[in-house]
Amino acid sequence: MSPGAISRRACLQALVAIPLVGSARPSAVLALGGTLPPLDQPAPDFRLPAVVPEKSGAGGQRSELSLADFRGQWLVLYFYPRDFTSGCTLEARGFQRDLGAFQSRGAAVAGISADDGESHLSFCGSEGLAFPLLSDPDGRVSRQYGSWIAPYSQRHTFLIDPQGMLRQIWTAVRPSAHSGEVLEALDRQRALPGQTPSQRQP
């Protein structure tokens, strides 16, 4: 098969996946990166090495984080290709800018890429990031989230509720405006019937 045919097929998969994720909510949706996990089901579990920055954004420490560590709060879990690239830097800056707004709504933010801990430490320090970055060098977790084309994670974002259920997916991410989109979706999700008072909008 020619490279052109592969490219056309990948583009068609992406175009098909984008509208389906937000509307029909099928059990299996393809995106650039693989099969996305189904909405309104438990999010795929993970445990990965992580860099957890100081709240000030200056320095940080190595750790491990799992999905269970975020239980009881909303989680914005975003996958991105690489530290220090232009799009990934814009996206990270947006989440850092809005981090206080997410936290006031009971939400945490965490990023995942294939970069190692040294790269994450440097990136957090350079951009003053105060949220954790996780390392997925072999793409194991990225594959579970349909977000891996070796050697990079794809730019996808997942909104997970305090019970660990997957509530929204973004595959067509615009790095400069993405944080605002996620914040608006978080407000809509928190306002839905069935949320406990602590999970609703203030």
CA distance 39 to 192: 15
The answer on pLDDT for 47 being more than 70 is yes
Q: Which fold has domain 36-188?
A: Glutaredoxin (3.40.30)
Question: 173-187: per-residue pLDDT in tens?
Answer: 999 999 999 999 999
Computed over every residue of the chain, the mean pLDDT equals 85
With 0.85 as the threshold, say if the pTM is over it.
no
Catalytic residue among 50, 67, 75, 88, which? 88
The answer on pLDDT for 58 being more than 80 is no
More confident position, 133 or 14:
133
| Burial label, 5 (beta-carbon count in 10 A; 0-12, 13-18, 19+) | exposed
Reading the block at residue 83, the tokens are: 């530290």
The answer on pLDDT for 36 being more than 50 is yes
What pLDDT, on the 0 to 100 scale, is given for residue 59? 62
Question: 65-84: per-residue pLDDT in tens?
Answer: 999 999 999 999 999 999 99
* Residue partners of 18: CB distance under 8 A and separation at least 6: 31, 171, 172
Q: Treating both helix axes as pointing N-terminal to C-terminal, what angle do 117-127 and 86-97 enclose, rounded to 10 degrees?
A: 60
The answer on pLDDT for 1 being more than 60 is no
Parallel/antiparallel/unpaired status of strands 166-170 and 152-153: unpaired
> Taking the domains of the chain in order of start, what are their residue ranges?
36-188
What pLDDT, on the 0 to 100 scale, is given for residue 62? 87
Question: Is 88 labeled as catalytic in the residue annotation?
Answer: yes
* Residue partners of 47: CB distance under 8 A and separation at least 6: 64, 65, 66, 67
What pLDDT, on the 0 to 100 scale, is given for residue 136? 98
